């Protein structure tokens, strides 16, 4: 029997809370929505999906889809700032030797792939499913 180990991306593989907070604020400024998140706000709601975070931020419902796109765009543009947790590359490499690996994330596949490529570990994962995949 083959084993696959699945990882969440944000908060498990990478420390993205500050960058995500910045991305939410960038989207708010761009769409003229009064949003002011700080990293502690996101720590309190870290189990929420991106659409749930947008709803919690009281973004105009007519702009919520566009707001999500702007968050993803800001994350994509800041991929170099998103870092793996210490020793995570080593852990992933060791697990890859004995198992298939996958990622499930509320973050888009494009952002996840770009960060993993930058960190030099994308090739270790067999499958990546993001929040943009229905």
pLDDT tens column, 74-106: 988 998 999 999 999 999 999 999 999 999 998
Length of the chain: 134
Is a pLDDT exceeding 60 seen at residue 1?
no
Question: What stretches of 31-134 show up as alpha helix (H) in DSSP?
Answer: 39-44, 50-56, 64-77, 88-96, 109-119
| Residue 51 pLDDT | 82
Confidence of residue 42 (pLDDT cuts 50, 70, 90): low
The one-character DSSP state at 124 is G
Q: How far apart are CA 80 and CA 69, in angstroms?
A: 19
pLDDT mean over 37-49: 68
Q: How far apart are CA 82 and CA 122, in angstroms?
A: 14
CB 133 within 8 A of CB 43: no
Strand partners, 71: none
CB 54 within 8 A of CB 66: no
pLDDT tens column, 112-126: 999 999 999 999 999
Confidence of residue 54 (pLDDT cuts 50, 70, 90): confident
């Amino acid at each position: 029997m083959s084993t696959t180990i699945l990882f969440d991306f944000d908060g498990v593989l990478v420390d993205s809370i500050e960058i995500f907070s910045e991305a939410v604020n960038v989207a708010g400024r761009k769409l003229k929505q009064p949003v002011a998140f700080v990293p502690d706000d996101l720590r309190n709601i870290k189990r929420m999906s991106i659409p749930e975070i947008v709803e919690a931020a009281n973004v105009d419902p007519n702009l919520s889809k566009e707001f999500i796109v702007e968050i993803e765009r800001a994350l994509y543009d800041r991929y170099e700032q998103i870092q793996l947790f210490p020793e995570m590359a080593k852990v992933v490499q060791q697990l890859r030797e004995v198992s298939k690996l996958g990622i499930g994330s509320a973050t888009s596949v494009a952002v996840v792939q770009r960060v993993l490529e930058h960190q030099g570990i994308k090739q270790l994962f067999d499958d990546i499913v993001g929040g943009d995949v229905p």
